Amino acid sequence: MAKYIFITGGVVSSLGKGVAAAGCGALLQSRGYTVHARKFDPYLNIDPGTMSPFQHGEVYVTNDGYETDLDLGYYERFLGAKLSRNDSVSGGRIYWDVLNAERRGDYLGGTVQMIPHVSNKIKEYISAPSDTDFVVCEIGGTVGDIEGKIFLESIRQFANDVGRRNVMFIHLTLAPYLEKSGELKTKPTQMSVRQLLENGIQSDMLIVRTPRMLTADERSKIGMFCNLPAKSVISGIDVDNIYKIPLAYEAQHVFDIIADHFGLPNARGDMSRFERIEKYLGDDIPSVTIGVVGKYFDVPDAYKSLNEALFHAGIQNNVHVKLKKISAENFTNEDCADVDGILVPGGFGARGVEGKIAAAGYARINKVPYMGICLGMQVAVIDFARNVLGIADADSSEFNKKCTPVIGIMSDHDSENMGGTLRLGAYPCVITAGSRAHEIYGTENISERHRHRYEMDISLEQKFADAGMIISGRSPDGKLPEIVELRDHPFFVAGQFHPEFQSSPYTGHPMFNAFIAAAVKHKH
């Protein structure tokens, strides 16, 4: 059977439980073990799909079309896993499942209670088949949160169900440093572990977020008060890049602690892929500047996968990628005067759209490499229709009901995997031979993930092609445009999908790799 590692957090939120979970999974993979990952969020939303990027960061989309927490992106990028709707579970979804079961009569008229009905439902998701050696489960929120108590109770029960030696509890805490007294305070960690013990869970390892390495005395003190050997107290030091986390854990023998708990051989790991990234980060190599024209910059995590994909492409091209955040709401041509490439990401709503249209136009006219993602493809089509085809009122029906809609509401075409009216998840795309897109991907058949509800009007294809913008990728039945590109341009490619969701730090993604290569060429 699979073995389970549960990651919990205390003291404050946003300690990096997702990265810690991915980092521990990476150590296991480096020894040849297979790893799956799951995220449990106690909040009452059914899923993150309707949550504002300003509050929650980006919405990540899985292959099977489920809108999930952004931490699943960490798991897929670090571990190369393909996760599904069963790997992102909220409290709202749990209660929804239980209450629907009650309405159907599944409980045969019995009284429905938190224990066993809600806790059993949580355990069902935890133990869903994974066909891997390990399942790493992150429990969202902070120990002490009211909505999280049933999740802690469920993992306590689960450890008893499958055997304590098949389950490991890792707890993330905070040791704040007080400048005035010059002290690192361990009391918040002690109190957090005590709260966890009140829920019946004894930590097997502590990862203590701290601005510096814990001293031997500090580790001993924490271990004594938290009922752990000092060797199981790990310094969760701040690093300038998340891909250094596995190396930091490796240096502190985190795998050895995991191996001792589960009775695994203490094998040496192959950390070469992370060492390669660390070397890249330290190398004195050229850089390119990419202007990202967006509207969610107030929240660092709003473009998490996008930022990661650009970083990955920098590794593949051996250049550092600098991002210039350009507000779509206040866009001027001068914003792009010093950039080597322009990227317009996805988004919803009319706010900032005219700035994005202007950015696409600037890239088209000035021969600056352009990459459009989802809405970034649609604004490129609108700009071309207005300023090349002369359709003055060209727009999307999402933003203007009285326009000439070159972008319109999606039909019921292939409604499987659609959430509401959204087209969600992975769909196949057929690429035209001889196109720039074909050169990028090196194949005629690809699959990319979507999250949108509007499409380019394909009946206008010939008009656009005659003027120089071609549809170079489409759905297998030929009805839905997936990729557009300009013939007479160094690099102008836009996709209706979200390629950032399939980028890897070890290989990058073909479209991002080609975009950064074009930016390098443009700079020279």
pLDDT of residue 353: 96
Q: Which residue has the tokens 């979507």?
A: 450
pLDDT of residue 299: 79
> How far is Cα 344 from Cα 377, in angstroms, rounded to an integer?
8
CB 258 within 8 A of CB 28: yes
CB 516 within 8 A of CB 323: no
CB 471 within 8 A of CB 465: yes
Residues of the chain scoring pLDDT < 50: 412-420
> How far is Cα 354 from Cα 331, in angstroms, rounded to an integer?
9
pLDDT of residue 410: 62
Kindly list the domain boundaries of the chain, sorted by start residue: 3-12+16-277, 285-523
> Is 285-523 the same fold as 3-12+16-277?
yes
List C-alpha distances in Å: 53 to 238, 347, 421: 25, 10, 20
> How far is Cα 418 from Cα 434, in angstroms, rounded to an integer?
32
Phi-psi region of 482 (alpha: psi -120 to 50; beta: other; left: phi over 0): alpha
pLDDT of residue 54: 67
Q: Could you report the per-residue pLDDT of 371-403, keeping only the tens digit for each?
A: 999 999 999 999 999 999 999 999 999 999 999
- Tabulate helix, strand, coil % of the chain (nearest 5): 40, 25, 35
pLDDT of residue 58: 87
Read off the tokens for 400. Answer: 């203007």
CATH 3.40.50.300 fits 285-523, yes or no: no
Burial call 297-335: b when 16+ CB within 10 Å, e when fewer: eeeebbbbbbbbbbbbbbbbbebbbebbebebeebeeeb
pLDDT of residue 419: 36
Residues annotated as catalytic (active site), given as ranges: 374, 498, 500
Phi-psi region of 425 (alpha: psi -120 to 50; beta: other; left: phi over 0): left
Q: Which is the CATH superfamily of the domain at 3-12+16-277? A: P-loop containing nucleotide triphosphate hydrolases (3.40.50.300)
pLDDT of residue 14: 85
CB 374 within 8 A of CB 346: yes
H-only helix segments in 252-398? 254-262, 272-282, 304-317, 353-366, 375-387
pLDDT of residue 123: 98
Q: Which residue has the tokens 């999974």?
A: 25
Query: At a CB cut-off of 8 Å and minimum separation 6, what does 418 contact?
Result: 65, 424
